[in-house]
Chains A and B, each alone.
Chain A
Amino acid sequence: MNLSFLYENIHVLLPEAILFLGALAVVGADLLRPKDGDGRGLGALALLTVVAGLVGTAYIWGRPPATYLGGASLDGFALGVRVVVLTAAFFAVLLSMGYAPRITWQTGEYYALLLLATAGMSLLGATTELALLFVALETFSLALYVLTGIYRRNPRSAEASLKYFLLGGFASGFFVYGAALLYGAGGTTDLALLGQRLAAGEANTSLLWAGMALLLVGFGFKLSLVPFHMWTPDVYQGAPTPITAFMSVGTKTAALAGFIRVLGTALPAQQATWGWALAVLAVLTMTVGNLAALRQMSLKRMLAYSSIAHAGYILVALVPGTAQGTAAALFYLFAYGLMNIGAFAVVVALERTAENDVDQGGFRGMATLYPALAAAMAVFMFSLAGIPPLAGFFGKFLVFKAAVEGGWTWLAVLGVLNSAISAYYYLRITVAIYFDQAQAVPARNAWAGLNLGIALAALGTVLVGIYPSLWIALFQGLGG
């Protein structure tokens, strides 16, 4: 039997292969490490793997389009998703280096799961087939369920893990059911072929609509769109903070990538319908996310609601179903990755490990004690609020531009109004940091990786804002 087809075009999945092998290597190294070690070497190994994954992405960059086994393809979009996901993973490992040993003795499992989740997310960007899409979705979801609960001494962490697992499992159910119905409608799980058949009108329409609706719910859960967002604040608050930072960007990017693949490849003919559904979801998500964030005292909960609102902005870009919209969403996710992970990194620096959270009071007068940390946090907050010249501004600029070009000006209007509302809760943090009297500010956590992560994120947020061209050009080419 000739098995050469197994090797043909295997470079399509090179970054994922690196990540899987890296995860295995971490587990192996964990077995060999001395009992009294703190697992610092494992963090370095994980970091090395992520960097290797980025190098692998660069290596297959610009190669002609190809597919592996008909399920995964090498195209610009897949590369763009990898850039965002791997960047998020890079920062997550940096934040974890001093953190993981404090909350668990299973640091090997911690890093291995982190890498597996990354692999799943990055695979999701490349898949062009419904079954593999589900496999990728479950790969990173299962890893994240465990990571959410890995801080076992903290009851909130365990609760969050259970909640995430139950609701996530529920969402996966919706997803599989929807995928099955789409298969019933078109007779194939290949997205491109499905798209051709659906466009030709050969499909069973009632199965198609039902399948679309169920897929929407499934992705809605993963993306934490309102009204499927209930789990988000609890899970974000309970999960170990570096994992929350990773989830907030990685999960969003991966789920959105899958969403874009399904909508753009299999269902472009139905854009008139799902466009409106997405528009309604986007308005709900932005508004509810922002209004709820106004009332939070816990910083992690505030950032959770803020991340819901940001999912809404990103959704605005997808409504018209254009290549510009996709490119804008990728740029936004990249910018969001830098500033949001940066904000969580500051939480990591200030939280007491036992509490696994900081409330707004914990920032009071921080500027006098830790001026650099305070300045970085101010940069992240202004960027999240979309004030130029920071990365977040150009994210919003491109997203709303895509909406206006697609004829959805009213959606852009609601978007900017929401953005103006959101400024209030981001500013409140800067008020606490700079204007309030100093209290007993907790001694800050510091390790090289954390400091490096905060510095890189802040620098990136500023540089991407001042000269966004490079990144706009990068993602513009990847939208199609």
Chain B
Amino acid sequence: MSYLLSTIVFLPLVGAVLVLGVPGDRARKGVALGTTVLTFLVSLLLLVNWQDTPEMQFVERIAWLPDLGVDYYLGVDGISLWLVLLTTFLMPIAVGYSVLYVRENVGIYMALMLLMQTAITGVFLALDLVLFYVFWEFSLIPMYFLIGKWGSERRVYAALKFFLFTLAGSALMLVAILVLYFQAGTTDILALAERGLPNPVAQLAFVAFALGFAVKVPLFPLHTWLPDAHVQAPTAGSIILAGVLLKMGTYGFVRIALPLFPEAARGYAALISILALMGILYGALVALAQEDFKALVAYSSIAHLGFVMLGIFALTEQGIGGAVLQMVNHGLSTGALFLLVGLLYERRHTRQLRAFGGLWKSVPLYCFFLLVVAMSSVGLPGLNGFVGEFTILLGTYARWPLFAFLGTAGIILAAWYLLTAFRKVAQGPLTDPRNAAGVLPDLRRSEVALLVPLVVMFFLIGLFPNLFLDRITPSVAALQARWDDVQTVSVLQVER
């Protein structure tokens, strides 16, 4: 048994302890950045030793609560692989941004960021429901403090709302876990998936899990915590929140809700897909109306996650595979967008779109990156967003042609609001003297260094999507095969 996965999960925790131990802000920043970079390098070993199989790899299993039969049980497959790597990839960028711009209570801030990483990778790797729940709930604590302590004006309200919304959403999940444990005698996710559960229990348990995951995603109409949390969070917090934290919800659907309750998932597929569509359209329309750049990005997240949900609940191989890839794409694109908004805010201390205009003349490098990132988020062919959205829509079309058609409207809207934002920021006349060349500094070398890896990934995924999809597909195909032998007992009578 190798301890690679445990190393990935707990290296940041060790780093967090070290950060609190060393004196001086420079040393603390160095330790934090070093830890995240090291963790990323270690996580690359996953790719090096990867086998093309739908099975779990690098499995670790140690008795944790032997009296209850609950294990410390980690494993990674094609579904979780890229999410883990996304986390370890985005973390050095988020921490790197913080190294440049965080000045207050650096030690605790960095320790919280690292704790956050442990919690998130733990969620993506846990194969036991209790362990999953422990990491899931624990992730609330560091983010709560990050928003509440280092956020903007309404940070306390946003932090409380974030914490209580997600806590209330996942409360019933605990009961569902206990019911599953009582019914099947185990909390092992893989064993539960194989065993299957009697119907009334499965239906109710699906609803309980789905509620917890849907709040996190967030699925319309449970999204109201998201704009507050994203807008108020410090930039690095927003990067992590949008980049990976939301994926805990969509990942939960793919890892737990679908394989454990395939019948119930099929029964609710239409309802959830409709909600996802409403999220796509609602998120896009509200984003169109935003004056605050960060709020615009926040609402665009609701729309993009709607796409992911649509793909998952198409319950086809392409739909789910595309959704997994799109989770990664959204993490990269939206992470980059929040990063760019943050950089602008640090320079001008406002995020209002009308405060800008004509920036292409004064800060061309910044505008270049903004354009590339916007294009990636919009889904321009050749960049990453296109591949994910296209695959999702293909998968959705196979089940619900109408939904695929409506979903496409979301892509058009996305192009509209993002290009509008770009126009307001970069184009037009340069009227405000505070935005003039020489007054407004362009990107520094260290800032470019944070953006370049992201852009490289855009192109890598966009041009060579099979590099990524090939590793996702075997696991997704195994998952999708579950619906071949399931009798349709549909709530909404959806036929294939």
Contact = CB atoms under 8 A, between A and B. Distances in A.
A420 B65 contact: no
B138 A389 contact: yes
A387 B141 contact: yes
A412 B172 CA distance: 9
Contacts of A202: none
Contacts of B144: 427, 430
Given A400-B178, A404-B179, A469-B65, A393 B134 contact: yes
A400 B164 contact: no
B140 A434 contact: no
24 contacts: A382-B141, A387-B138, A397-B174, A400-B175, A400-B178, A401-B68, A401-B181, A409-B179, A412-B175, A416-B172, A417-B168, A417-B172, A420-B167, A420-B171, A423-B167, A427-B160, A427-B163, A430-B144, A434-B149, A469-B67, A472-B65, A472-B67, A473-B66, A473-B67
A199 interface: no
B155 A388 contact: no
A465 to B, nearest CB: 9
A435 B163 CA distance: 15
B148 interface: yes
Given A382-B141, A472-B67, A476-B67, A435 B178 contact: no
A437 B267 CA distance: 51
A8 interface: no
Interface string B138-163: 10110011001100000110011001
Q: Which of A393, A434, A472 has the most CB of B within 10 A?
A: A434
B483 interface: no
Contacts of A469: 64-67
A469 B167 CA distance: 25
Nearest to A469: B65
Nearest to A368: B105
Nearest to A400: B178
Interface in B247-300: none
A444 B171 CA distance: 37
B400 interface: no
B368 to A, nearest CB: 38
A434 B148 contact: yes
B137 A387 contact: yes
Given A388-B137, A397-B178, A416-B175, 20 more contacts: A388-B133, A388-B134, A388-B138, A393-B137, A404-B178, A413-B175, A419-B171, A420-B168, A424-B160, A424-B164, A427-B144, A427-B163, A427-B164, A431-B148, A431-B156, A431-B159, A434-B148, A435-B148, A467-B64, A472-B65
A396 B175 CA distance: 11
A417 B138 contact: no
Interface in B162-204: 163-164, 167-168, 171-172, 174-175, 178-179, 181-182
Nearest to B134: A388
Contacts of B148: 431, 434-435
Interface in A446-480: 467-469, 472-473, 476
Contacts of B171: 416-417, 419-420
B200 to A, nearest CB: 12
Contacts of A387: 137-138, 140-141, 167
Main secondary structure of the interface of B (DSSP, over half): helix
Contacts of B178: 397, 400-401, 404, 412
Closest 9 CB pairs of A and B: A388-B134, A416-B171, A420-B171, A404-B178, A420-B168, A435-B148, A435-B156, A388-B137, A472-B67
Interface of B: 64-68, 130, 133-134, 137-138, 140-141, 144-145, 148-149, 155-156, 159-160, 163-164, 167-168, 171-172, 174-175, 178-179, 181-182
B174 A400 contact: yes
Contacts of B159: 431, 435
Interface string A173-213: 00000000000000000000000000000000000000000
Contacts of A405: 182
Contact of A409 (B133, B134, B175): B175
A411 to B, nearest CB: 10
A157 to B, nearest CB: 35
A195 B133 CA distance: 41
B182 A404 contact: yes
A467 B130 CA distance: 13
Contacts of B133: 388
A434 B109 CA distance: 13
A163 B167 CA distance: 38
Interface string A144-157: 00000000000000
Interface string A379-392: 00010000111000
A435 B149 CA distance: 6
Contacts of A382: 141
A416 B171 CA distance: 6
Contacts of B181: 401, 404
Contacts of B163: 423, 427
A76 B171 CA distance: 33
Interface in A278-335: none
A387 B119 CA distance: 13
A413 B172 contact: yes
Interface string A420-442: 10011001001100110000000
Contacts of A473: 66-67
Interface string A350-384: 00000000000000000000000000000000100
Contacts of B156: 431, 435
Given A401-B178, A469-B65, A431 B160 contact: yes
Nearest to A436: B156
B483 to A, nearest CB: 28
A365 to B, nearest CB: 12
Contacts of A419: 171
Contacts of B155: 435
B445 to A, nearest CB: 35
A412 B205 CA distance: 14
A417 B140 CA distance: 17
A28 B164 CA distance: 54
A290 to B, nearest CB: 13
Contacts of B149: 434-435
B30 to A, nearest CB: 22
Contacts of B168: 417, 420
Q: Which of A382, A388, A419 has the most CB of B within 10 A?
A: A388
Given A409-B179, A431-B148, A389 B134 contact: yes
Contacts of B67: 469, 472-473, 476
A404 to B, nearest CB: 4
Nearest to A415: B175
B186 to A, nearest CB: 13
A387 B145 CA distance: 14
Nearest to A467: B64
B19 to A, nearest CB: 14
Contacts of B164: 420, 423-424, 427
Contacts of B141: 382, 387
B68 to A, nearest CB: 7
Nearest to A403: B178
A413 B130 CA distance: 17
B74 to A, nearest CB: 15
A108 to B, nearest CB: 44
Interface in A24-42: none
A396 B178 CA distance: 11
A358 B178 CA distance: 38
A427 to B, nearest CB: 6
A413 B175 CA distance: 6
Nearest to B68: A472
Nearest to A327: B67
A230 to B, nearest CB: 29
Nearest to B130: A397
A154 B241 CA distance: 50
Contacts of B68: 401, 472
A300 to B, nearest CB: 23
A388 B123 CA distance: 13
A397 B68 CA distance: 11
